[in-house]
Amino acid sequence: MKIPVKKQWFKGALIAGLLAVSNVTAFAADASKPSELNNSLAIVLLIVIVGLLLVIGMLAYVVVTAGELYVERLKEKQKEEASTALKVLGMIALCMISGSVFAADVPAADATKEVVITTIGGLSKTTFYSLITVLALELVVLFTLLFQLKTFLAKDKPVLEVEEVEAKAPWWITTWNKMNSFKPEAEVTDTGHNYDGIKELDNNLPKWWLYGFYACIVFAFVYIYRFHVSHSGPSSLQEFQTEMAKADIEKEEYLKSSASKVDENTVTLLTDASALAEGKKLFGASCSPCHGAEGQGVVGPNLTDDYWLHKGGIKDVFKTIKYGVQEKGMKAWKNDFSPIQLAQIASYIKSLQGTKPAGAKEPQGDLFTEDQKSTTDTTKTAEQKLVVK
């Protein structure tokens, strides 16, 4: 049911107007007595009050009309808006009623005395402040109605409708799905086989898998024709031989560059004729005075038998030549020969074993064989591993 808001506003405005008229009549009730309404300031204030009251009435009518439109949009707030308007008019009515105090009888002598002693623009303080209060209340009501009118006439903010757009899959996912021939779940064919909740689907093989399989078949035919029919490519044996030859060349280059790095831990027995010849030359120039030209032994021990004072392995002989044996009068040759020259001398001495030259000196030291050396090295290696562990 629609509330008759206009009728209520008309009633309120009519009451306010009657009250205002009654106040003016009250001011002029006793013409025989001096009245403050004859004062020019009072007349101006009353005119302003009545003018503002008319403006408030017209503005209230506009606010009510706008309120009806607003209530149509917000029906649930209709009663609250109507009651608020009535409260505003009630406040105006109460303010206008207070003006009736201006009609009270005051003795002429006392009134004259008050005007002379305590007046503001020819009006008593009570009258002046009452009129100013009514004027201020009217201004408050006027601004309140203007604010309410602005609220009613304000346009609702448009509601932006967000259109739901389906998210587009990235291009690489779309491409992958096409390559695998994936079907929507509704189009997937089930074979009917179920293994612990795992379904077997009757899908086509992915295209990339099929193309890869076909490529492997083509590659197999090409490989067989090239390596086993036309022999245009090297076989596995030929590739092995080529790699071994390349490794030998690299090994020689490495040995040449690392010859100066040979020591008693890395030296190996040299068997090539050029190395032994160089070793024989160096031995004859530096070692023959003590060991004889053929190693038969002079001051030093015999180097052609199997007995050795400081072991007879290639590494042991290299170490003895390099560092010498000071307590037996043999000097260290590490400052006279390079590491490769020491290796050549040691290899030459090892080649003298079993030659039995004439005038050979009796054996000295302990019997040494290569098997003993291997056994000793193996034991030493095992001990080192045990210590590491």
pTM beyond 0.75: the answer is no
Mean pLDDT in residue range 122-131 = 77
Q: Which residue, 96, 11, 82, 94, is CA-closest to 53?
A: 96
In the DSSP assignment, the letter for residue 263 is -
30 with 98, same domain: the answer is yes
243 with 283, same domain: the answer is no
In a domain, 192, yes or no: no
Give pLDDT, residue 207: 82
In a domain, 196, yes or no: no
Give pLDDT, residue 240: 94
- Of 242, 261, 280, the residue at which a domain comes to its end is 261
Full DSSP string of 173-228 = HHHHHHHHT---GGGPPEEEEEETTEEEE-PPPPHHHHHHHHHHHHHHHHHHIIII
- Of the pLDDT bands very low, low, confident and very high (cuts 50, 70, 90), residue 318 is very high
Q: Which residue, 377, 389, 385, 308, is CA-closest to 349?
A: 308
257 with 272, same domain: the answer is no
b/e 1-10 (16+ beta carbons within 10 angstroms → b):
eeeebeebbe
What's the total number of domains in the chain?
4
> Is residue 127's pLDDT more than 50?
yes
In a domain, 114, yes or no: yes
Q: What is the CATH number of the domain that holds 270?
A: 1.10.760.10
pLDDT tens per residue, range 186-217? 777 777 777 888 877 777 788 888 889 999 99
Rounded CA-CA distance 166/183 in Å is 19
Chain mean position to CA 10? 70
Q: Which amino acid is at 121?
A: G
192 vs 116: which has the higher pLDDT: 192
- Of 153, 176, 209, the residue at which a domain comes to its end is 153
Rounded CA-CA distance 321/286 in Å is 11
Mean pLDDT in residue range 217-246 = 92
Do residues 8 and 81 lie in contact, with contact meaning Cβ atoms separated by under 8 Å? no
> Is residue 279's pLDDT more than 70?
yes
| pLDDT above 70: percentage of residues in the chain | 68
55 vs 21: which has the higher pLDDT: 55
14 vs 274: which has the higher pLDDT: 274
Q: Tokens at residue 241, please?
A: 């031989």
Contacts of residue 242, defined as CB under 8 A and 6 or more positions apart, other chains included, come to 234
> Is residue 28's pLDDT more than 80?
no
Rounded CA-CA distance 50/312 in Å is 140
Which of 2-16, 306-320, 372-386 is most confident?
A: 306-320
In a domain, 94, yes or no: yes
Count CA atoms closer than 13 A to 272's CA, side-chain side.
5
Rounded CA-CA distance 133/125 in Å is 12
Contacts of residue 235, defined as CB under 8 A and 6 or more positions apart, other chains included, come to 227
9 with 57, same domain: the answer is yes
Mean pLDDT over the full length of the chain: 74
239 with 292, same domain: the answer is no
Q: Which amino acid is at 79?
A: K
212 with 240, same domain: the answer is no
In a domain, 9, yes or no: yes
83 with 53, same domain: the answer is yes
Rounded CA-CA distance 126/248 in Å is 129
Q: Which residue, 52, 57, 36, is CA-closest to 129?
A: 36
Rounded CA-CA distance 65/71 in Å is 10
9 with 80, same domain: the answer is yes
269 with 219, same domain: the answer is no
Judged by average pLDDT, the poorest of 74-88, 93-107, 133-147, 342-356 is: 93-107
pLDDT tens per residue, range 43-69? 777 888 888 888 888 878 777 877 777
Q: Hey, which residues does 119 pair with through a beta bridge?
A: 124
Q: Which residue, 340, 344, 332, 324, is CA-closest to 263?
A: 340
249 with 111, same domain: the answer is no
Do residues 91 and 141 lie in contact, with contact meaning Cβ atoms separated by under 8 Å? yes
Strands 198-201 and 119-120: unpaired
- Of 261, 278, 307, the residue at which a domain comes to its end is 261
- The backbone torsions φ and ψ at residue 192, rounded to the nearest 5 degrees and listed phi first, read 90, -5
In a domain, 164, yes or no: no
Give pLDDT, residue 328: 85
In a domain, 384, yes or no: no
15 with 99, same domain: the answer is yes
Do residues 93 and 12 lie in contact, with contact meaning Cβ atoms separated by under 8 Å? yes
Q: Tokens at residue 218, please?
A: 């083509």
135 with 77, same domain: the answer is yes
**Domain span at residue 344?**
264-378
- The backbone torsions φ and ψ at residue 215, rounded to the nearest 5 degrees and listed phi first, read -65, -35
Contacts of residue 332, defined as CB under 8 A and 6 or more positions apart, other chains included, come to 322, 323, 324, 326
In a domain, 52, yes or no: yes
